[in-house]
Chain A
Amino acid sequence: MKLKPEDLDKINEKMRSVTNLREGAGRAKITVHMGTCGIASGARKILNEFLTQVEKANTDDVILITSGCAGLCSREPMSTVEIKGEPPVKYVDLDEEKVRQIFEEHVMGGNITSKYALEIGSERLS
C-alpha cells in the first residue's frame, strides 16, 4: 500500500483521538466518580454508557477519566463534565438515560443539562 501525501492526512486524522488522549488535550473532560459509594450505586454502568456514547459520536476530543468519591455519597452516581474554558458541572443521581441526555446536550451541544446538575464550579482548593 503506497501512500500519497493526502493519505498521510487521513492517518493523522484517524489517530487524532489517540494523540489527544495521550496529551490530555480535549475539548471536554468527563469525570466519573468511582469511590466505593459510586461503584455500589452503579458508577460502572455510567462509565460504560459514557464510553459507548463517546464511541458512537465518533468524537476525538472528549476525554473520559475516573476519579474517587466526590464527597456527596448520597447523590451517587455522580459525574463532572468540564468543557474547556468553562467551569465544571457536577451531575448527580445518574442513570443511563440521563447520561445519554447529558452527553448529547452538554458534552456535544454545549448547553448545561440543568435539571440533573447539582452545581457549577468546584470546591475551593487551599
Chain B
Amino acid sequence: MGRFRTNLLLCASTGCVSNKSLELKEAIEIELKKHSLQNEIKIILTGCNGFCANGPIMVVQPEGIFYQFLTVDDVPHLVEEHFLKGRPVEKLMYIPPKKETPVPKMSDIEFFKKQQLIALSNRGSIDPENIDEYIGKDGYRAMVKALTAMTPEEVIEEIKSSGLRGRGGAGFPTGRKWEICKNAREDEKFIICNADEGDPGAFMDRSIVESDPHCILEGMVIGAYAIGASAGFVYIRDEYPLALKRLIHAIKQAKKYGLLGKDILSTGFTFDISVNRGAGAFVCGEETSLIHSLEGNTPEPRTKPPFPAFSGYRQKPTNINNVETWANVPRIIQHGAKWYSEIGTETSKGTKVFSIVGKLKNTGLVEVPMGITMREIVFDIGGGILKDKKFKAVQIGGPSGGCIPDHLLDTPIDYESLTKAGAIMGSGGLIVMDEETCMVEVARYFLSFVQDESCGKCPPCREGTKHMLNILTEITEGRGKEEYIDLLQNMGMLIKETAICGLGNTSPNPVLTTIRYFRDEYEAHIKEKRCPARTCKTLIHYSILEDKCTGCHLCFKNCPTQAITGEVKKAHFITQQKCIKCGMCFDVCRFDAVRYE
C-alpha cells in the first residue's frame, strides 16, 4: 500500500449522496489524475458528518479543512488550488451567520465545537465499508476485553454503574434491563437491535448505522455475552437502503474475521446476527409489536407484563435496545464506567444524539452531553432561527413528545427535566418552530400521524385519537367551541392511561403540551376565529382596501385563481369563494392595499 499524504473524507451518507456526492467523487478522481496526484491523495467515502443542511461535505485531512456545498463545477479549481498548490479555497468554506470571514477548520466551527462524540465518535472519519478502518480506531477492542478479561456479571455491572439508559425513548437503565434478561430461567435467549426509526424528521439511528455499523455489531456481541444470548437480530427499516447495505456488508466482514459466528476470536463464545427488514410501520418501534413482526405475525402490541425479558421472541427471554444504546456499549466497556458516568447530569449520563431540523440556520445531526440546555442546541449549534425570526417552541420526542416553549429554553436536557416539562427525551428528534408556526396545527399534524400509524388494536388509540383529531380539525377550521379545550385534555388523559402500548400512551402529549404552553393560541382560534401565526387557511381572510388601491392591476395579473376583479385605475376586489389564500396579492402589492386578518 502506497502512502497518501492527504485524505479527502467525502460524506456519502443519504443526505450528501442525494446532493450528488458520488458524482463529486468521480469528478475529483478525474481531476486528481490530470495533475498526477492520484497516488498522493485518496478519497474516502464516509458516513454522515451531521451538518447535512450544508452538504455535500468534504473534510481534508491532515489539515482539517472543511468544505461545504460542493458542486462538480467547483472541482477543477479546488484540486488545482488546494491539492496541488496547497492553498485552501475560501469560497467553499463555512461562513458563520452574520459573519464575513470563513472558518477553514472543522474543529473551529460552532456547529461542531459544542458537540461531544461517543456514539458517533467515528462519524465522518472512517470508511464504514472497511472493517480495518474501524479496527484502526480501536474497534473490537472492547469486545476482546469483555470476552477475555471480564465475566458476564462484570460486564453488566460496568454498564449498570456507567448509568447508561435506553436511548430509544423511555430511558430504562440498560444494565438493569440486561440483568433481568440474564436472570430469566431459560437456556435460549435473544437480543435485538431496534433500528426501526419512525419519528418524522428523525434520522439518528440511520446515521449511526450508515457511518459506523461495526460499533453496533460490537455492542451487540458484548450484550449477548453478558446476557447469554446466542442469536441476535437487527430490525431495520427497509426505507433505509444505504444503512441496510452497509450493515449487511459489515456483518459479512465481521464473520469473515471471526468476530461474529462460531467461537468468536477463539474464545469459545458463539453469537450470530441476522438482519430483518421492517416495512415501515411506526408501531414496530414498540418492543412487543417489533417482536410480533419479527416472528412473522401482525405487528400489534400486547399488554405487558410479561416483559420481553421473560417472554419475547418465540416466548424466549429477549432483550431489545435501540441503535444508539448499542453504539454506546463498546465505548463504555473500553473506557470504563467511571469515564462515562462523569459526562452528563445526576440522573442522565453520557451523551445524546439529536437530529435538529425545522426553522433553524444549521440543521443536521448532533451529539451533545446530557445537561446541555435547549438554548445552546438551538442558538449555538443550530445558529438561531432562520431569517432571524422569533423562536416559538421546539418539539422534542416526535409524535410521542411535547413542546418546550421559550421560557423553558434554559432547562438542562435530561430524562427527568423533559418529563417534568411534559415532553420526553424520545429517540432524539428535535423540530424547531418559529413565530410563524401555529401550535394548534402542529398538534393536529402529529395527531394525524399517530392516527395513520395506530395499529387499531385498542379503542383508546384507534377511536380516541380519531376524535381528538376531529376536534382539532374543527378548531383549525374555525368551528371550535369553548368546551373543546377541556374535552381535549380529558380525552388526552384518558388515552394516556388506557392505551395498550407506548404509541397510544404518548400520542396525546403534543396536544397536552401545546394546550399547556400555548392555550392562548387555542383560545384565539376558538373565540376569535383567528390564527395568530396566520397559517390556518380557513381563518385567514384577504381583502383589498378601497382607499389605498390605485388600480395598478398587479394583483389581478398575479392571482393564480382569478379571484381578483377590477378595472385599471379603479379599486379591485377579491371574490372570497375563489380565493385560496396563497398570499400572492399581499406579496406583490406595492401600496399596502391588501390586508389580511
Contacts and interface: CB of A to CB of B under 8 A. Distances in A.
Interface of A: 1-5, 8, 11-12, 14-24, 26, 29, 31-36, 39, 47, 51, 54-55, 63-68
A22 B7 contact: yes
B168 to A, nearest CB: 30
By DSSP majority rule, is chain B's interface helix, strand, loop, or mixed? loop
Interface string B109-124: 0000000000000000
Contact of A24 (B2, B63, B83, B138): B63
Contacts of B126: 22
Given A3-B257, A67-B86, A15 B141 contact: no
Given A5-B148, A14-B132, A54 B62 contact: no
Contacts of B259: 3
18 contacts: A1-B257, A2-B257, A2-B258, A5-B144, A8-B144, A15-B133, A15-B135, A18-B7, A18-B133, A21-B7, A21-B61, A24-B64, A32-B86, A35-B87, A47-B5, A47-B40, A63-B62, A65-B6
B86 A16 contact: no
Interface in B15-45: 40
A11 B83 CA distance: 29
Nearest to A59: B3
Contact of A66 (B61, B86, B138, B258): B86
Given A19-B136, A64-B5, 6 more contacts: A8-B140, A12-B141, A14-B136, A29-B62, A51-B3, A65-B62
A11 B136 contact: yes
Contacts of A55: 2-3
A53 to B, nearest CB: 10
B125 A23 contact: yes
Interface string B56-85: 000001111000000000000000000111
Nearest to B263: A2
B9 interface: yes
B62 A21 contact: yes
Question: What are the 7 tightest A-B residue pairs by CB atom distance, in nearest-first order?
Answer: A15-B136, A66-B86, A2-B258, A24-B62, A67-B86, A64-B5, A68-B87
Nearest to A32: B86
Contact of B85 (A12, A24, A29, A35): A35
Interface residues of B, number: 36
A21 B148 contact: no
B62 A11 contact: no
A26 B3 CA distance: 15
Nearest to B147: A5
Contacts of B390: none
A104 B133 CA distance: 30
Nearest to B255: A2
Given A4-B266, A55-B2, A65-B86, A19 B137 contact: yes
Nearest to A19: B136
B141 A8 contact: yes
Nearest to A48: B40
Nearest to A18: B136
Contacts of A11: 132, 135-136
Contacts of A4: 265-266
Contacts of B86: 31-35, 65-68
Contacts of B569: none
B335 interface: no
Nearest to B256: A1
Contacts of A8: 135, 140-141, 144, 265
A67 B125 contact: no
Contacts of A1: 256-258
A47 B3 CA distance: 13
A74 B258 CA distance: 59
B591 interface: no
A33 B86 CA distance: 7
A12 B135 contact: yes
A86 to B, nearest CB: 18
B7 A5 contact: no
B270 to A, nearest CB: 13
A43 B137 CA distance: 34
A47 B6 CA distance: 12
Given A5-B144, A54-B3, A64-B5, A24 B61 contact: yes
Contacts of A32: 86
Q: Which of A33, A39, A51, A54 has the most CB of B within 10 A?
A: A51
Contacts of B63: 24, 65
Given A17-B3, A21-B4, A67-B87, A51 B140 contact: no
Contacts of A18: 7, 133, 136
Contacts of B138: 12
A65 B5 contact: yes
B395 to A, nearest CB: 36
Nearest to B6: A65
B585 to A, nearest CB: 54
Nearest to B83: A66
A49 B86 CA distance: 17
Nearest to B5: A64
Contacts of B6: 21, 65
Contacts of B4: 21
Contacts of A24: 61-64
A47 B126 CA distance: 26
A34 B6 CA distance: 15
Contacts of A16: 136
